[in-house]
Structure 1
Amino acid sequence: MRVIIIGAGIGGTSAGIALQRLGHDVRIYDQIRENRPVGAALSLWPNGVKVLNWLGLRDEVAALGGHLDTMAYVDGHTGDTMCRFSLDPVTDQTGQRSYPVARADLQGLLMDTVGADRIHLGMRMQSISQTDDEVTVTFENGETATADLVIGADGARSLTRDYVRGTPTERRYSGYTNFNGLVPIDTRVGPVDQWTTYVAEGKRVSVMPVAGDRFYFFCDVPQPSGIPYDRSTGIAPLREAFAGWAPGVQTLLDSIDPATSFNRVEIWDVDPFHTWTRGRVVLLGDSAHNTAPDIGQGACSALEDSYVLGLLFATTSLGIEDTLRRYEHARTQRAADLVLRARKRAAETHGFEPDVTEAWYDGLRRETGENVIRGIVGNIADSPVSIGGLLA
């Protein structure tokens, strides 16, 4: 089977590897000209890691991942620890450690595994057309490519999604801006093996360890969309948003080099929808379920897509369109649930309803870890990779 994948991100490359392992001829096209992904890092919870293990990348992914043993919430104003607990129960129940990883490192690994000769960069898709037997993609440079199947893994602003649904899809602003990047590990900010999050005023400052003695940091600032930002001002918005916050936060801000690693991203998502296929064209990853990062399941959900699509092409035999419909049936509800869970979490943590957020802060001061672990595991429990179930 000839396969065209639009998008060389986590979803597109993982799907490419899965289908290559089945012997299919895969070509990936992306408008980017080099591996410079949006966002510094991502959380790989056990469901995502298990897919990568299944793709044969167990050791490589473990080497890229930060060593994450504990989780803590810290009062953003005082620096006092509100709660701290082990993440071992997540590992014990799911059978797999979690790994924060630098996005460029993971994407580079996946692209290398697919093979440079299979990936075509600087190719922006313009249109799709199909017959009963094949699909043709036309690119802005006038080139065309034809295959038996097209997978649209072209992200939040997906053109493939517009083709599949027959209409442009409106995105929904999540109510906050995320600033993120990579900095050297500094134990004055948080322990080297801990996910540390400072909270106050509906804002968050968080660090997680990744390979290379680095922290991945992200800072959430609730604000309207469309606020102008000039990169020459560097981290000035963070200085303003977190003025007077705890010493650990100030140490983090002092360590940020905007010229090296600093991203500003308004957070948007898409209302869940359940039409992911049109003939021989199918959606995967953010094009199918653009999700806010509040539960850390965006990349994991894309990896689940690749896992299910690979399994179905390995085990069904009634034709491409039948297989794609089964994939759609298997994935849309699970993905929709994660989109809505992330929205709910964003509302709780970002002060959209101040009383709700203050109640959450109060609960953190009494938290033993049980409730947080239940939430993390709950996001994983219904994953298609949870074969054998969760062990208490």
Structure 2
Amino acid sequence: MNLHASAEKNTQIEKSSQPLIEKVAIIGAGLGGLAVAVALRKLGYDVQIYEKARDFRPIGGGLGLFPNGLNFLDAIEPGIVETIKNLGCEIQTSVLKNTQGETIRTNPASRYGDKYGQPLITVWWWHLQQILASKLPSESIHLNHRCIGFEQDERNVFIYFEHGEKVCADLLIGADGINSAVRGALIGDGKPRYLKSMSWRTVIKCHQELLNPGELTFVKGNQEFMFLLNLGDDYISWVYRKFFPDCIVSQDAGEVKSQVLSQLADWGESLRSLVEATPAERIQEGIICDRLPLKSWSKGRVRELHKKNDPMTSRVSQKFQQTIF
């Protein structure tokens, strides 16, 4: 019996049985990146997340979680949906209003629970980020890490960061948004397209009578609209979007608020008062952009998280839920 040949064969078997992927690096600690990290850790992968922000700040707007998103989250982390429900708001009614605040139509939202077994839940983006992050070891989330590029070979991918740090992983997932550094290096398709629309959004603690408990309101104007969401615990989210042929970015917080109020000059007092009650520094101005869909979103050991690679422009909740499927 040739013991040397047998030992060599056993070594080859051991090598071939080793997993091709053990360590996964995710760029971006938004909702998509965190949700995928939770799912991959459940499958036994060593997942590390790298986020350019220095800390998790109370930012973002209101988010609507539909049954498909809730069912996914419940599958990867049993019990998390109850936590979300306790922090958020279960929507019972959707209301369509005109710009004077007059009700045009009211629809029950109970059909979601009746048909799909889960309701429509609204929650603050930041609260959901905190919930997802709490399901991961704190040492696996690396803040103040801005990705500037990567290189890969047949065995590894090397990720480079702004301050000279270098990380080696078996798989790199880009979850760093529409201006993704990973996408830029992987695909190189330039800047996003401006869609001739601007948006303004915020979340504030507010006691007011515009929204009943469990109510979602959509205000429709002429080439403009506003969403009003109850988020639970007296938090209110408003999102205003308007057609703007030219992209005009405000210089400071005061100008941002003045811009919104000037656009709402002909709106009803109840809607204007909500914006007036919002601290200027809490209003986030955004440029509405998208990207063209791609036939391929991966190359070697690197892939973009968003399946369609075409960020949805006004439905953040469905964008998140498409991301995690």
**Aligned ranges for residues 177-326 of structure 1 at < 5 Å?**
177-230=198-251, 231-259=253-281, 261-285=282-306, 288-294=309-315, 296-304=317-325
Unaligned runs of 5+ in 2: 1-21
Unaligned runs of 5+ in 1: 305-392
Structure 1 CA distance, aligned partners of 2:178 and 2:307? Answer: 5
157, 164, 168: which one pairs with 1:142? 164
Q: Report the aligned-residue RMSD.
A: 1.8
Going by fraction, where is strand more abundant, 1 or 2?
A: 2
Distance 1:295 1:4, change over 3 A: closer
Q: Which amino acid aligns with 1:232?
A: G
Corresponding residue for 2:99? 76
Corresponding residue for 1:155? 177
> Does the CA-based 8 Å contact 2:250-2:256 persist in structure 1?
no
User: Which has the higher mean CA deviation after the structures are superposed, 12-21 or 187-196?
Assistant: 187-196
73, 77, 86: which one pairs with 1:63? 86
Q: How far apart are 1:186 and its partner, in Å?
A: 4.2
Corresponding residue for 2:31? 10
User: Which has the higher mean CA deviation after the structures are superposed, 220-229 or 267-276?
Assistant: 220-229
Corresponding residue for 1:31? 52
Structure 1 CA distance, aligned partners of 2:246 and 2:42? Answer: 43
Q: Please, what TM-score do these two structures have when normalized by structure 1?
A: 0.73
Q: How far apart are 1:248 and its partner, in Å?
A: 2.3
Q: Which amino acid aligns with 1:96?
A: Q
Instruction: Look up the SS of the partner of 2:280 in the other structure.
Output: coil
124, 136, 150: which one pairs with 1:114? 136
Cα deviation digits, residues 350-371 of structure 1 (max 9, x gap): xxxxxxxxxxxxxxxxxxxxxx
Structure 1 CA distance, aligned partners of 2:179 and 2:43? Answer: 29
> Does the CA-based 8 Å contact 2:157-2:169 persist in structure 1?
yes
Distance 1:64 1:174, change over 3 A: farther
Instruction: Look up the SS of the partner of 2:233 in the other structure.
Output: coil
104, 112, 116: which one pairs with 1:94? 116
Distance 1:142 1:26, change over 3 A: same
Q: Which amino acid aligns with 2:304?
A: L
Structure 2 CA distance, aligned partners of 1:175 and 1:184? Answer: 31
171, 179, 194: which one pairs with 2:192? 171
> Does the CA-based 8 Å contact 2:97-2:219 persist in structure 1?
yes
Kindly indicate whether residue 125 of structure 2 is the aligned counterpart of residue 103 of structure 1.
yes
Runs of 4+ more than 6 Å apart: none
Distance 1:275 1:169, change over 3 A: farther
Q: Which amino acid aligns with 2:270?
A: G
Going by fraction, where is helix more abundant, 1 or 2?
A: 1
> Does the CA-based 8 Å contact 1:197-1:204 persist in structure 2?
yes
Q: Which amino acid aligns with 1:193?
A: G
Q: How far apart are 1:295 and its partner, in Å?
A: 7.4
**Larger-gyration structure (1/2):** 2
Distance 1:153 1:294, change over 3 A: closer
- Count of matched residue positions in the alignment of Structure 1 and Structure 2: 301
Corresponding residue for 2:5? none
Q: Please, what TM-score do these two structures have when normalized by structure 2?
A: 0.87
Structure 2 CA distance, aligned partners of 1:36 and 1:284? Answer: 23
User: Which has the higher mean CA deviation after the structures are superposed, 192-201 or 293-302?
Assistant: 293-302
Q: Which amino acid aligns with 2:131?
A: L
The percent identity for this pair of structures is 25
Q: How far apart are 1:254 and its partner, in Å?
A: 2.6
> Does the CA-based 8 Å contact 1:161-1:288 persist in structure 2?
no
Q: How far apart are 1:158 and its partner, in Å?
A: 0.9
